[in-house]
Amino acid sequence: MAYLFTSESVSEGHPDKVADQISDALIDNFIAFDKDSKVACETLVTTGQVVLAGEVKSSTYLDVQKIARETINKIGYTKGEYMFDGNSCGVLSAIHEQSDDINRGVERAKKEEQGAGDQGMMFGYATRETENFMPLALDLSHRILKELAELRRENKDITYLRPDSKSQVTIEYSDDNIPQRIDAIVVSTQHDDFDEDEAMLAKIRKDIVEILIPRVIAKLPEQIQGLFNDAITYHINPTGKFVIGGPHGDTGLTGRKIVVDTYGGKGAHGGGAFSGKDPSKVDRSAAYATRHIAKNLVAAGVADEILVQVSYAIGVVEPMGVFIDTFGTCPFNMTDGEIAEKVSKLFDLRPFAIEERLKLRAPMYSETAAYGHMGRKNETVTKTFTQPNGETITLDVELFTWEKLDYVDKVKDAFGL
């Protein structure tokens, strides 16, 4: 019997994502000037106020208030009527030095013997459902909000948009787990005030269905375009008026959108957030490493769908173990346990080895903090950072290194494919 599956996404202007982006902007600035920085930074945003808290061990000094304000302005909170804008909001910093008790468990005389920055389990997932090996419902949810943000910045076809928004996509699957059609789409977007609520709702619905969705469809592969139809149920701003939004409408915190950040409810999640953490924290680095493994295994033909788990003890170099679930999609005679054993030999999952393989000691994290950490485009960009004393550094930074298919040939050799 056919079934329905739903995933959601939130925009860069969602309060939790504002917090994530500020935390990751701080990570990037610390690492740009001291690549060995150890940082765990949390952010809270609410009406007219930002609170920064966390632990740092770094040789550099930053103007954290300036970084927070620049991030908020870049998102689009630039007007006093939003009750939260980068130029006028208060910024309180309660960042202090990292605990020596934690640090001695992580740092070693030899970097390759670096211990895990925390205990826990991390998951990576990949599926053939889309070209970027991501679950389709989440991929579409992200695409809808990225296109909505483009329309907001263009301020031409739709002129009333504000930064906060959410989307949700429900897909009907066949018994053999093949997407058949899009059943429902939900879009809630913050907007300027209108004179009449009824006219406002009609205008927003018309613009989303007739302007936004066609722009999204036009950028999709042909087989995915075919899942859109006239029978889709649209819920556009279903609660009605959405003028009060962003951190004024709802307090935002770093790390509250971990399912949006990963696989939209597919696969699994170990529970640890990513943003605000340097790569010595395996919550982040090992989640990227397991995604890299899962994607390369699926691309190499080991299975059509794969979940990878790795686990660690704080301060311990070697992982506790590796688990693989192929959901019965492996096309050859090999158990998941046998696949896991080969993966353990093929991929070095010691924390420092992960940092080196994926080039994680680079200021690559601001781009991850909205629209998902997985399934993104691997590319190199140029970034410039400035310290309070005026010192400026410009770096070429490779983004989303865990999305590279650079182990496909090695996987094929290891599995005889």
Residues contributing to the annotated binding site for Mg(2+): 16
Q: What is the side-by-side order of every strand in the sheet holding 233-236? A: 3-10, 161-173, 179-191, 233-236
Q: Considering Cα of 59, then 61, then 65, then 71, what sign does the dihedral take?
A: negative
**Tokens, residue 358:** 């994926």
CB 323 within 8 A of CB 345: no
The binding site for ATP consists of: 14, 164-166, 241-242, 250, 256-257, 273, 277
The binding site for K(+) consists of: 42
**Tokens, residue 218:** 């036009």
Give the 3-state secondary structure of residue 206.
Answer: helix
Give the 3-state secondary structure of residue 403.
Answer: helix
The binding site consists of: 14, 16, 42, 55, 98, 164-166, 241-242, 250, 256-257, 273, 277, 281
What distances in angstroms separate CA 50 from CA 93, 111, 165, 274, 361, one per listed residue?
A: 8, 35, 20, 19, 27
CB 173 within 8 A of CB 147: no
The binding site for L-methionine consists of: 55, 98, 250, 281
Buried b or exposed e, range 28-43, using 16+ CB within 10 angstroms: bbbbbbbeebbbbbbb
CA–centroid distance for 123 within its chain: 14
Q: Beta 179-191 vs 233-236: how paired, if at all?
A: parallel
